[in-house]
Amino acid sequence: MFDCHCHILPGIDDGSKNVEMSLAMLDLEVRQGVEGIIFTPHFYADMNSPSTFLRRRENAVRELEANLSRLPQVPDYILGAEVHYFRGMSRSDGIESLCIGNSNYILIEMPFRNWQPQFIDEIEEISDVLGLRVIIAHIERYLDQDKKLVKRLLDNPNLLIQCNAEFFIERTQRNAISLMKTGRIDLLGSDSHNLSSRRPNLADAVQIMQKKDKKRALDHIERVSRRIFEAAM
């Protein structure tokens, strides 16, 4: 099991506030059976340049790594970012540096305002022109957008789709299972931010998925996750 979207690094965004919280979150991930994690702190182009963000991320990683010996077990981890959509991002200097590890995979959070066709055009340019493998973060948050535009994302075989564990756990479970059965969920993430309202919770979602799809969807998700980890190393 891999957590491909989380905010566990300490003090860099609205996720973990300090090392103590980060260690507790990592310990909870291990106890749930998570073997690999992608750290994906928020990147907002209007707040940081890529170089500034990467410097801040490195500082957070160093602070965490200095304390990892306090844990009995630590999952494998690689560095990434949750890149919030911004106009012109397909032509932005340094966008490639926000990819996951040494791979060409990049996690992108779409706008929450009403979508326009040019939003999807931009995403397709990142894929087609720059050659990056775009992962759309928490697809469930956009399902009430223009259905034609959502369908453009889901129908594009060059894009990967990530959903959050809570999609399967909350009242949206029926919608989650429906999307899962189309084979269009490629990655899972906890999108965890803390130990209370948004804690690591992949195990709960996986249990539901196992009951509803007899592991077919989970096998696909694991294959894609391992492919990303191997490319990122």
Helix (H) or strand (E) holding 222: helix 216-232
Q: How many Å apart are CA 83 and CA 80, to the nearest integer? A: 9
* pTM of the predicted structure, to 2 decimals: 0.97
Q: Please list, residue by residue across 97-107, b when 16 or more beta carbons sit within 10 angstroms of its beta carbon and e when fewer do.
A: ebbbbebbbbb
Q: What are phi and psi of 36, to 5 degrees?
A: -145, 140
The DSSP code for 98 is G
Domain positions in the chain are: 2-232
pLDDT, residue 173, reads 92
Q: How many Å apart are CA 45 and CA 92, to the nearest integer? A: 10
Q: What is the rounded end-to-end Cα distance, in angstroms, of the chain?
A: 17
From first to last of its 233 residues, the chain has per-residue pLDDT tens of: 999 999 999 999 999 999 999 999 999 999 999 999 999 999 999 999 999 999 999 999 999 999 999 999 999 999 999 999 999 999 998 999 999 999 999 999 999 999 999 999 999 999 999 999 999 999 999 999 999 999 999 999 999 999 999 999 988 999 999 999 899 999 999 999 999 999 999 999 999 999 887 678 999 999 999 999 999 98
Q: Which CATH class is domain 2-232?
A: alpha beta
As a residue count, the chain comes to 233
Q: Name residue, tokens 């310990």.
A: 27
pLDDT, residue 146, reads 97
Contacts (Cβ under 8 Å, ≥6 apart) of 34: 1, 2, 3, 75, 200, 202
Q: What are phi and psi of 130, to 5 degrees?
A: -85, -20
Helix (H) or strand (E) holding 133: strand 133-136
Q: Is the Cβ–Cβ distance between 148 and 174 less than 8 Å?
A: no
